[in-house]
Amino acid sequence: MNRTAPSPGPFDPPEAAAQAAARAGGGDPAAVLARLAVKRGVSLGVLAGSRPDEFRIVLAAAAAALPEGRTSTEREVNDALAGWLAGPGSMLAVDHVELRRWLVDTGLVTRDGYGRAYERAAPPPAYALVVEALRAADPARIVEAARAASAIERERRRAEHERRGRAAT
């Protein structure tokens, strides 16, 4: 029986995350984000439990939608995350409030004790490599390109299907 080591959790050290990503063939966060971008109904809870490398990538991309180096109100954070979920993050089956909680719980975003002031935090060790990789690439552009390529491929397959249907009659 072929057994593999369990994937590290979303809070594990970056070395464990990098090793898990390499085992899964998903070492490039941009490629993983592009693959996820064309899906629908992705659950953060499922990703956290069964695909922690993908979970970290999605959360890092969501955190990138928030301004860096400044304090934001809860409303500003909610608006930014709602906008991200309507665009690049639309593959997720989550609302902006749950997403905000995940970001705070993982340490990618900090908030004051009253829940009124939020800041994008320095990434925790488990997220540092992913955040750095996505900083070099624009997550929104990665998602946009993946979805455009997927739409072209769907149209090509549809046209091929119609062509075969006409040829069969």
pLDDT by 10s per residue, the chain, length 169: 333 333 445 544 444 444 444 334 356 999 999 999 999 999 999 999 999 999 999 999 999 999 999 999 999 999 999 999 999 999 999 999 999 999 999 999 999 999 899 999 999 999 999 999 998 888 999 999 999 999 999 999 999 999 988 887 7
Residue 18: the pLDDT is 44
pTM of the full structure: 0.78
Torsion of the alpha carbons at 12, 25, 61 and 131, rounded to the nearest 10: 60
Distance CA 131, CA 80 (A): 18
Residue 26: the pLDDT is 52
